[in-house]
Structure 1
C-alpha cells in the first residue's frame, strides 16, 4: 500500500464511521417505535434482531468493503483493523450520543413505553401457556425490578458499560479486519 493511500485511511474511515453511525441511530429510533407498537412476543423478539442487528451488520459490511476500495483495494490485517476500528468507534459514539439525546429530550417516555409493551406481551404469552396468575405476577415483578435497575444505573456503571462497549467495538473491528483484509499479491520477477 502506498503512503498516499495509507494517509487516506483515517479520514475515509472517519467519513464511513459518520455514515454508519447515522444509519445505526436512525435504525435504533425506528426499532424503538416498532417495539412500542409491537403486539406479540414474536415481534418483540424479531424487531431487535432484524432492525438492530442484521440490517446494521449488512450496512457495516458494505462500509468495510467501501473503505477498502477507497484506499486502493488492498490492506493488511493491521491496516484493516485500525481503519475499521476508527469507523466502528465513530459510529458507536454517534449512535450512543444520538440515542442519549433521543431518550432524554425527544422521547423521554420511550423506555417506559417499551417496558410496558414487553411486560404486556410477556404476560399475555404466559396466560396463553396456561401459567398460574401467581407465577405471572412474580415474573412481572422481576421484570419491573430489572428495568428499574437498568434505568437508574450509577455513573460508574455507565462508564463501565461504555468501556465494555469500546472493547466490543475493537473485537468486532479485529474480526472484520481479519475477514476483509486483502494483501497485495507479491510480484514475481523473472530472470
Structure 2
C-alpha cells in the first residue's frame, strides 16, 4: 500500500469523525428528541453512507484515480477504523465525563419513540416491554458506557466497518487500463 493512500485514508477518517461528531453534538444539544425517532436513525445511516462514498471517491482520486481491490480495501478500511476509533473515543469521553446525565436525557425520547414504532407494528404488552428493555440496555451502553462497553462497541464498529469496506472495495475498485492509449491514434 502506498504512503499516499495511507495518509489520505487517515486524514479522510479524521474528517469523517469530525463530521459525525458535529452532527451528533448538534442533534444532542439542539434537537435531542430526534434521537428517539426511528426515521432520524435511518436518515443518519443514509447520510453516513453518502459521506463514506464521497470520501472513498476522494481517496481514489487523490491517489491517481485507480486502485486494485486490495488497495481499495486497505484504504477504505483504514479510513473506517480511524473514523470509528476517533468517534468512539470522543463518545466515551463526552458521555462519560462531559455529559454524564446524557442517558437520562435521551432515555425518555428513545423510550417514547420505540413505544410508538412498536405499537404501530402491532406489538403490545410483554413483547413491547421486553423490546423497550433491550433497547434501553443498548442505549445505556452508548450513553453511559463502561470501559467494557467502549471496547465492545469499538470491536462491533470495526467489524461492521470491515464488511462495508469489503463491499465498497468491490464496488469502487478501478484497475488501470491494460494498455496505455497510443498518442495521436483515433
Q: TM-score, normalised by structure 2?
A: 0.77
Aligned residues: 179
Partner of 1:17: 13
Matches within 5 A, 1:40-119: 44-51=37-44, 53-119=45-111
Q: Deviation at 1:108? A: 1.7
**2:33 aligns with one of 24, 30, 37:** 37
CA RMSD of aligned residues (A): 3.4
2-side partners of 1:184 and 1:130: how far apart? 53
Q: Deviation at 1:119? A: 2.4
Q: Deviation at 1:97? A: 1.0
Partner of 2:24: 28
Conservation of the 8 A alpha-carbon contact between 2:114 and 2:132? no
Structure 1's 131 and 80: CA in aligned 2 closer, same or farther, altered over 3 A?
closer
1-side partners of 2:138 and 2:66: how far apart? 47
Structure 1's 142 and 122: CA in aligned 2 closer, same or farther, altered over 3 A?
closer
**1:171 aligns with one of 160, 163, 172:** 163
Conservation of the 8 A alpha-carbon contact between 2:88 and 2:150? no
Deviation per CA, 1:58-104: give whole Å up to 9, x if none: 11111000000000000000000001111010000011111112212
1-side partners of 2:98 and 2:87: how far apart? 15
1-side partners of 2:95 and 2:48: how far apart? 20
Q: Which runs of 5+ in 1 are unaligned?
A: none
Partner of 1:147: 136
Which stretch of the first structure deviates more once superposed, 23-32 or 59-68? 23-32
2-side partners of 1:121 and 1:57: how far apart? 23
Q: Which runs of 5+ in 2 are unaligned?
A: none
The structure whose Rg is larger is: 1
**2:4 aligns with one of 5, 8, 18:** 8
Q: TM-score, normalised by structure 1?
A: 0.76
Q: Deviation at 1:121? A: 4.4
Q: Deviation at 1:165? A: 2.3
